[in-house]
C-alpha cells in the first residue's frame, strides 16, 4: 500500500489551509446539542450523542475523502514517474492531507465523543478511533514538532534514495568511489557469488549507508515519540500497536510466543543451512552463520539453498501480460468479479522499456486511489516465478479494496481488519499460487514433472520460518527498544547484533564499530517505522486461513491444495474481505477459523519437515 510521505509545496499548502478553515467552520457549526445524560444507549435507539457523532463523521468524511483522493493521485504520479517536480508535488499534497487529518478541531471533537463511547454505536466508535489514530500521527496541537518530523523524514528518505553504494572506494577515500553499485546489483551478487571474499566486500558495502542514516534516525525517533506522546501514547511504538487495539506488552507476547513455538523448527533449519553453506564455501561449519554467507542483506530469509525448488525455468518466455491475467483468473475462478477496465488502463504493470528516460518506483504495490472503484497496481512484471506469485499477492490487496468498497463500510473503515490482514490476504494468494496442483492445473507445470515435495517444503520454510525470526524477533524487538525504551544511540549497534545472534543465529563477518548502524539500513526503520510486526502477524494469519481453507473447505492436504474454481473458498474469503475494518479483527479471526491468532497452523504446515530435518542433520554439530 502507498505510504503517505508528507513534504512541501506552496500551492498544495494553500489548498490545505483553505480546507482546514472550511473544516473548522463546518465542524463548529455542527449541532451543539447537549449530550444525553443516559449512562448507556438504549437498544435499537440512537442516542443524542450518537446522532451528533454521526453528523460530525459525515462532515469530516465529506471533507477528507476528496483530499485523500487528490493526494493519492499525486502520490501515484510521483511513484510512477520519479522527477524532482513530482516529488515536490507529492510532498505538498501529503502535507496538506496530514494538516487536515491532524487538525485540532478533529482531535478535540473525536475525543469528546469517545469520552461517551458507551452511548455510541460500535461502527461510530470505530470510526472515531480510526480518526484519532490518524490525527495522532500529525497532531495540529504541536505544529512545530510535526513540521520538524516531516522535514526530518523527507531529508532522510532523500538521503537513502540518493545514496550511492560503493564496492571499491578510490585509493584516496575522500576522492570518492571507483566502483559504484546499486542495491539490485548487491542483491544479485549475494544470491549468485560463490566467492566468499567478494561476498564479504559486497555485504560490507551494503551496510555503509547505516552510518550516514544514523544521526537522522536518532533525531526522528525522538520526534516521533514526541508526536505520539501529544495524544497520550507512551511512545511511537505504542501508537502504531494501538491500531491493533493492543498494548505493547500484549503485542510482544504474541510475537514471543510465535518465536518460542517455531524455534525447534528454526533450529533444525539453522543447522542444515550452516552446514550446507559451509560445504558450499569449503569452510568448517560455524556456530553462528556469518552474515555474508547468506543470499539476503539482512538474512531475513535464506534463499538459493534448495536448487531443485527454483521454478523460474517454468516461466521463461511467458508474456508478462499473461502472468497478471492468470492472477486475475485465480480470483475470478473463486467467484470474484473481473477487474474493472480502469485497472488495466491506469495501472503501471511492466518495466519501463530500455532507453526511455522515465523512472518508476521499484517496489510492487497496490493502490486504492479513491477508496471506491479506482484501484491500481504498480509492478514491473517479468517472466519468472517471483512475479507470478507477486501478481497473485498484489491482486489480493486489490480484491480486498474492491470487496470493502460498499455502502455498508464507511470511508474511515475501508481498511483491512487490521494492517496484518491486508498483507496476510495477499500472502495467502501467494501461497495458493505456489501449490503444485494449482501450477499443474493452470498449465505452468507439466504433469509428471512435479518437484520433490520435500525440497519444496524445505525451501518454503527457509522463507517463512526464517522470516519469523527476523520480523517477530530482531526487527520488532529492536524497534521496541528504540521507541518504547529509548535505547541510547551509542548502544544501537551492539543491541542490533545481539538480537541478530539470538533470534537469527547470524553473526557479523568481522566486529562492527559502534559508530556504524547496521540496523538503520533496513528501509522500514526510515519510512514505515515501528510496524514490522505487521509482517510477522500476516504470516501467522496466512497459515491459519490456508489451514482452514484446505482442511475444512476443500478437504485437501495443506501442502498440495488447489483453491482454483472453488466458489466456496471465494465465499469464505469475501466474508472476511467485505467487512473491512468494521469489526474487531480478533472476532473476524475467530469467526473465520474458530481460533485466536497463533502459530499452530504454521507448525502443522511444516510438520513433515521436523523428521526430514532430523534425518538431514543426523551426525552434524548443531550447537550455536
Ligand atoms: Zn502486500
Expressed in angstroms and rounded, the spacing between residue 178 Cα and the centre of ligand 1 is 37
pLDDT tens-digit profile of 115-133?
A: 999 999 999 999 999 999 9
SS3 of 204-218: HHHHHHHHHHHHHHH
Expressed in angstroms and rounded, the spacing between residue 538 Cα and the centre of ligand 1 is 10
More confident residue, 253 or 173: 253
Please report the pLDDT score of residue 175 as a whole number.
Answer: 85
Expressed in angstroms and rounded, the spacing between residue 422 Cα and the centre of ligand 1 is 7
Q: Beta-carbon neighbour count of residue 607 at 10 Å? A: 12
Expressed in angstroms and rounded, the spacing between residue 382 Cα and the centre of ligand 1 is 18
- Measured CA to CA, the distance from residue 286 to residue 279 in angstroms comes to 11
pLDDT band at 45 (very low <50, low <70, confident <90, very high): confident
Expressed in angstroms and rounded, the spacing between residue 378 Cα and the centre of ligand 1 is 11
pLDDT tens-digit profile of 190-210?
A: 999 999 999 999 999 999 999
Lowest mean pLDDT across 5-14, 450-459, 596-605: 5-14
Expressed in angstroms and rounded, the spacing between residue 357 Cα and the centre of ligand 1 is 28
Expressed in angstroms and rounded, the spacing between residue 365 Cα and the centre of ligand 1 is 7
Predicted TM-score (pTM) of this structure: 0.92
pLDDT band at 84 (very low <50, low <70, confident <90, very high): confident
Expressed in angstroms and rounded, the spacing between residue 403 Cα and the centre of ligand 1 is 16
Whether residue 323 is predicted with pLDDT greater than 60 in this model: the reply is yes
- Measured CA to CA, the distance from residue 354 to residue 524 in angstroms comes to 29
Please report the pLDDT score of residue 26 as a whole number.
Answer: 59
51: which strand partners? none
Dihedral over Cα of 444, 446, 450, 451: its sign: negative
Instruction: Report the chain's terminal Cα–Cα distance, integer Å.
Output: 39
Please report the pLDDT score of residue 309 as a whole number.
Answer: 87
Contacts of 217 (CB under 8 A, 6+ apart): 156, 517, 520, 525, 526
pLDDT tens-digit profile of 178-188?
A: 999 888 889 88
Expressed in angstroms and rounded, the spacing between residue 425 Cα and the centre of ligand 1 is 8
Q: Half-sphere exposure of 236 toward its Cβ, with a 13 Å CA cutoff?
A: 23
Each as own residue / partner, the long-range contacts of residues 166-172 (CB below 8 Å, 24 or more positions apart, any chain) are 166/205, 166/208, 167/201, 167/202, 167/205
Expressed in angstroms and rounded, the spacing between residue 397 Cα and the centre of ligand 1 is 7
Please report the pLDDT score of residue 11 as a whole number.
Answer: 35
Please report the pLDDT score of residue 154 as a whole number.
Answer: 80
Mean pLDDT (the chain, rounded): 92
Whether residue 362 is predicted with pLDDT greater than 80 in this model: the reply is no
Please report the pLDDT score of residue 174 as a whole number.
Answer: 83
Expressed in angstroms and rounded, the spacing between residue 472 Cα and the centre of ligand 1 is 17
Mean pLDDT of all residues in 281-303: 97
Q: Which residues of 535-574 are buried (b: 16+ CB within 10 A; e: fewer)?
A: bbbbbbbbbbbbbbbbeeebebebbebbbbebeebbebbe
In contact, 254 and 537? CB cutoff 8 Å: yes
In contact, 321 and 387? CB cutoff 8 Å: no
More confident residue, 83 or 116: 116
pLDDT tens-digit profile of 123-172?
A: 999 999 999 999 999 999 999 998 899 888 888 887 887 788 999 989 88
Whether residue 347 is predicted with pLDDT greater than 90 in this model: the reply is yes
Please report the pLDDT score of residue 22 as a whole number.
Answer: 57
SS3 339: coil
289: which strand partners? 506
Please report the pLDDT score of residue 547 as a whole number.
Answer: 98
pLDDT band at 412 (very low <50, low <70, confident <90, very high): very high
Please report the pLDDT score of residue 363 as a whole number.
Answer: 80
Contacts of 317 (CB under 8 A, 6+ apart): 383
Expressed in angstroms and rounded, the spacing between residue 277 Cα and the centre of ligand 1 is 30
Please report the pLDDT score of residue 354 as a whole number.
Answer: 83
R_g (Cα) of the chain, nearest Å: 25
Ion ligand 1 residue ranges (Cβ < 5 Å) = 423, 426
pLDDT band at 5 (very low <50, low <70, confident <90, very high): very low
Expressed in angstroms and rounded, the spacing between residue 106 Cα and the centre of ligand 1 is 30
Expressed in angstroms and rounded, the spacing between residue 490 Cα and the centre of ligand 1 is 34
In contact, 46 and 121? CB cutoff 8 Å: yes
507: which strand partners? 290
Expressed in angstroms and rounded, the spacing between residue 394 Cα and the centre of ligand 1 is 6
Expressed in angstroms and rounded, the spacing between residue 300 Cα and the centre of ligand 1 is 17
Cell of 139: 497532531
pLDDT tens-digit profile of 470-507?
A: 999 999 999 999 999 999 999 999 999 999 999 999 99
Amino acid at each position: 500500500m502507498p505510504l503517505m510521505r508528507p513534504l512541501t509545496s506552496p500551492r498544495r499548502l494553500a489548498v490545505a489551509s483553505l480546507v482546514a478553515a472550511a473544516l473548522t467552520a463546518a465542524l463548529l457549526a455542527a449541532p451543539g446539542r447537549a449530550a444525553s445524560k443516559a449512562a448507556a444507549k438504549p437498544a435499537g435507539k440512537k442516542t443524542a450523542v450518537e446522532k451528533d457523532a454521526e453528523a460530525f463523521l459525515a462532515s469530516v468524511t465529506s471533507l477528507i475523502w476528496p483530499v485523500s483522493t487528490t493526494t493519492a493521485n499525486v502520490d501515484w504520479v510521483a511513484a510512477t514517474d520519479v522527477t524532482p517536480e513530482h516529488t515536490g508535488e507529492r510532498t505538498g499534497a501529503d502535507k496538506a492531507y496530514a494538516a487536515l487529518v491532524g487538525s485540532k478541531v478533529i482531535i478535540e471533537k473525536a475525543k469528546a465523543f469517545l469520552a461517551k463511547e458507551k452511548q455510541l454505536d460500535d461502527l461510530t466508535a470505530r470510526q472515531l478511533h480510526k480518526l484519532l489514530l490518524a490525527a495522532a500521527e500529525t497532531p495540529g496541537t504541536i505544529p512545530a514538532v510535526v513540521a520538524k518530523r516531516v522535514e526530518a523524514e523527507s531529508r532522510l528518505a532523500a538521503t537513502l534514495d540518493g545514496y550511492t553504494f560503493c564496492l571499491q572506494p578510490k585509493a584516496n577515500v575522500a576522492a570518492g568511489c571507483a566502483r559504484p553499485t546499486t542495491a539490485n546489483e548487491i542483491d544479485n551478487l549475494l544470491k549468485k557469488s560463490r566467492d566468499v571474499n567478494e561476498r564479504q566486500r559486497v555485504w560490507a558495502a551494503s551496510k555503509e549507508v547505516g552510518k550516514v542514516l544514523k544521526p537522522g534516525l536518532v533525531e526522528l525517533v525522538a520526534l516521533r515519540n514526541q508526536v505520539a506522546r501529544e495524544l497520550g501514547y507512551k511512545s511511537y511504538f505504542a501508537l502504531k500497536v494501538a491500531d491493533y487495539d493492543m498494548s505493547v506488552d500484549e503485542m510482544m507476547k504474541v510475537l514471543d510466543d510465535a518465536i518460542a513455538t517455531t524455534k525447534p523448527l528454526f533450529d533444525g533449519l539453522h543447522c542444515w543451512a550452516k552446514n550446507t553453506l559451509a560445504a558450499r564455501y569449503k569452510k568448517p561449519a560455524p556456530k553462528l552463520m556469518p552474515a555474508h554467507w547468506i543470499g539476503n542483506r539482512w538474512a531475513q530469509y535464506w534463499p538459493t539453498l534448495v536448487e531443485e525448488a527454483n521454478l523460474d525455468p517454468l516461466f521463461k518466455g511467458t508474456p508478462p501480460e499473461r502472468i497478471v491475467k492468470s492472477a486475475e483468473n485465480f480470483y475470478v475462478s473463486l467467484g470474484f468479479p473481473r477487474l474493472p477496465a480502469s485497472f488495466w488502463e491506469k495501472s503501471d504493470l511492466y518495466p519501463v522499456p530500455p532507453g526511455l528516460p522515465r523512472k518508476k518506483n521499484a517496489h510492487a504495490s497496490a493502490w486504492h486511489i479513491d477508496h471506491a472503484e479506482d484501484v491500481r497496481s504498480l509492478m514491473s512484471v517479468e517472466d519468472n516465478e517471483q512475479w507470478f506469485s507477486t501478481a497473485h499477492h498484489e491482486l489480493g490487496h486489490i480484491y480486498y479494496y474492491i470487496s470493502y468498497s460498499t455502502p455498508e463500510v464507511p470511508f474511515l473503515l475501508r481498511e483491512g481488519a487490521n494492517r496484518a490482514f491486508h498483507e496476510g490476504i495477499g500472502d495467502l494468494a501467494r501461497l495458493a499460487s505456489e501449490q503444485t496442483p494449482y501450477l499443474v492445473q493452470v498449465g505452468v507445470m507439466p504433469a509428471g514433472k512435479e518437484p520433490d515435495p520435500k525440497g519444496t517444503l524445505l525451501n518454503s520454510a527457509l522463507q517463512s520460518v526464517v522470516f519469523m525470526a527476523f520480523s517477530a524477533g530482531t526487527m520488532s524487538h529492536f524497534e521496541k527498544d528504540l521507541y518504547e525504551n529509548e535505547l541510547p544511540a551509542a548502544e544501537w549497534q551492539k543491541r542490533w547484533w545481539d538480537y541478530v545472534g539470538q533470534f537469527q543465529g547470524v553473526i557479523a563477518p568481522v566486529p562492527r564499530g559502534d559508530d556504524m548502524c547496521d540496523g538503520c539500513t533496513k528501509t522500514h526503520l526510515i519510512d514505515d517505522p515501528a510496524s514490522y510486526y505487521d509482517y510477522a502477524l500476516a504470516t501467522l494469519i496466512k497459515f491459519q486461513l490456508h489451514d482452514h481453507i484446505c482442511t475444512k473447505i476443500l478437504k485437501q492436504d495443506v501442502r498440495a491444495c488447489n483453491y482454483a474454481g472453488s466458489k466456496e473458498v471465494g465465499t469464505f474469503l469475501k466474508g472476511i474481505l467485505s467487512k473491512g475494518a468494521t469489526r474487531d479483527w480478533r472476532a473476524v479471526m475467530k469467526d473465520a477459523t474458530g481460533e485466536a491468532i497463533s502459530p499452530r497452523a504454521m507448525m502443522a504446515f511444516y510438520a513433515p519437515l521436523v523428521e526430514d530435518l532430523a534425518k538431514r542433520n543426523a551426525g552434524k554439530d548443531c550447537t550455536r
